[in-house]
Amino acid sequence: MFSWLARMVSACLRPVRRYARMNKDDFDKSSTEDTLLWYKDLEKHSCGEFSFAVVQANKVIEDHSQVETGSDAIFVGVYDGHGGPEASRFISDHLFHHLMRIARENGTISEDILRGAVSATEDGFLTLVRRTYGIKPLMAAIGSCCLVGVIWKGTLYVANLGDSRAVIGCLGGSNKIVAEQLTREHNANKEEVRLELRSLHPEDSQIVVMKQGTWRIKGIIQVSRSIGDAYLKRPEFSLDPSFPRFHLPEPIRRPVLTAEPSVCSRVLQPNDKFLIFASDGLWEHLTNQQAVEIVHKNPRHGIARRLVKAALSEAAGKREMRYKDLQKLEKGIRRYFHDDITVVVVFIDHELLAKNITVPQLSIRGFIDTVEPSNFKALQGLM
């Protein structure tokens, strides 16, 4: 189906092939907006500003995301679902609340508290799968990557499951911006991940398999860590041959995937200028350095949207199309050209870190056009 669809679309757009790349001014001069692109161009947080954008490719969007702002903190979550939107939506509904509950109980935020919030979210989703498995067995095959960042009192905490990515832009010599990747990607296409899986499962010669040019765990999935994907974690959720895409010839004896996040923390330094949190749909088309240079060289207003459009321009160019022609494709069809993409850019204004700046306490969900009061209010004493 893919090759047929690609030929059909390519034939329709053949006359415009020589305009493959969007030029530098397209972002500012475009008179028609992408109907599948949602954005908040610039909002304030306690130590700076942030920009937020999401573009849909799937028939039903599988990227869910949120930004929560408080008096001393900002929380960013990017949840890239697979198999359906249920897991990423569940994380968006529950992880932040778990973080706030555990932080309130302990009177602080730390790497361990981030781990605890992720673990509680995983437990909650597997409970949901167990409740619904009898009537909807494919819930066991739904999962999500999970990237979380928190800035609290000048320290950044990051937790990651899967292949979304957090990158920090640091100012180096001669006023040049340098990209530093903060997260480790749990994807079978990474040699270190394949080595890790083989060492954990020495008895299983099929733990990682090359399939259609891509390394996959059990020949099915690329990411080695996730929320959900219960059928690869618990034998009780194995799927029978009526679901060939997810059926395993032999039941698993122990978990193949894990929900243990990679976690790091960093005291922010004056040269740390901004953070980019994004699902892998962005990084498929832009390198870390390309992304930080776009942020560094352009106005803050609309910068997340600019990054999304740069990625979409690259995606279109790979098919010898123009970005504006890609815009004409409907959701579902768009997935053959690019993935759902979520981008949050968080600017760090160091002069504000030591001040008690009053900013709106907001809760913003990506692709949902509502802004609500943030639940950071529940932590007034801590924050």
Spatial CB neighbours of 55, under 8 Å, sequence gap ≥ 6: 34, 36, 37, 38, 281, 308, 312, 338, 340, 341
* Neighbouring-strand partners of residue 55: 37, 341
Q: Is 48 part of any domain?
A: yes
Q: What is the pLDDT of residue 7?
A: 39
Q: What is the pLDDT of residue 311?
A: 97
Six token digits for residue 360: 């709106």
Strands 214-217 and 155-161: unpaired
- Which of 94-108, 199-213, 312-326, 349-363 has the lowest average pLDDT? 349-363
Q: What is the pLDDT of residue 22?
A: 46
Question: Cα(27)–Cα(31) distance, rounded to whole angstroms?
Answer: 9
Average confidence score pLDDT of the chain = 88
Q: Is the pLDDT of residue 11 over 60?
A: no
Q: What is the pLDDT of residue 252?
A: 86
Taking residues 118-122, report their average pLDDT: 98
Question: Cα(243)–Cα(254) distance, rounded to whole angstroms?
Answer: 21
Cβ(164)–Cβ(80) below 8 Å: yes
> In this prediction, what percent of the chain has a pLDDT beyond 90?
73
Q: What is the pLDDT of residue 198?
A: 95
Q: Is 210 part of any domain?
A: no
Q: Is 235 part of any domain?
A: no
Question: Cα(99)–Cα(124) distance, rounded to whole angstroms?
Answer: 13
Q: Is 3 part of any domain?
A: no
Q: Is the pLDDT of residue 377 over 60?
A: no
Calculate Rg over the CA atoms of the chain: 21
Considering 87-91, 172-176, 357-361, the range whose residues carry the highest mean pLDDT is 87-91
Question: Cα(265)–Cα(107) distance, rounded to whole angstroms?
Answer: 18
Residue 21 pLDDT grade (very low, low, confident, very high; cuts 50, 70, 90): very low
Q: Is the pLDDT of residue 71 over 90?
A: no
Q: Is the pLDDT of residue 15 over 70?
A: no
Give the total number of structural domains in the chain.
1
Q: Is 238 part of any domain?
A: no
Q: Is the pLDDT of residue 192 over 70?
A: yes
Residue among 303, 39, 333 at smallest CA distance from 325: 333
Model pLDDT for residues 265-290, shown as the tens digit of each residue = 999 999 999 999 999 999 999 999 99
Q: Is 124 part of any domain?
A: no
Count Cβ atoms below 10 Å from residue 338 Cβ, excluding itself. Answer: 23
Q: What is the pLDDT of residue 348?
A: 96
Q: Is 98 part of any domain?
A: no
Q: How many residues does the chain have?
A: 383
Q: What is the pLDDT of residue 27?
A: 55
Q: What is the pLDDT of residue 244?
A: 83
Q: Hey, is 4 helix, strand or coil? A: helix
Q: What is the pLDDT of residue 367?
A: 87
Q: Is 225 part of any domain?
A: no
Model pLDDT for residues 195-250, shown as the tens digit of each residue = 999 999 999 989 999 998 999 999 999 999 999 999 999 999 988 888 888 888 88
The CATH number of whichever domain residue 56 belongs to comes to: 3.60.40.10
Q: What is the pLDDT of residue 249?
A: 82
Q: What is the pLDDT of residue 57?
A: 94
Residue among 314, 297, 296 at smallest CA distance from 55: 314
Residue 26 pLDDT grade (very low, low, confident, very high; cuts 50, 70, 90): low
Residue among 60, 126, 80 at smallest CA distance from 222: 80
Q: Which domain holds residue 172?
A: 18-88+145-184+263-379
Q: What is the pLDDT of residue 13?
A: 38
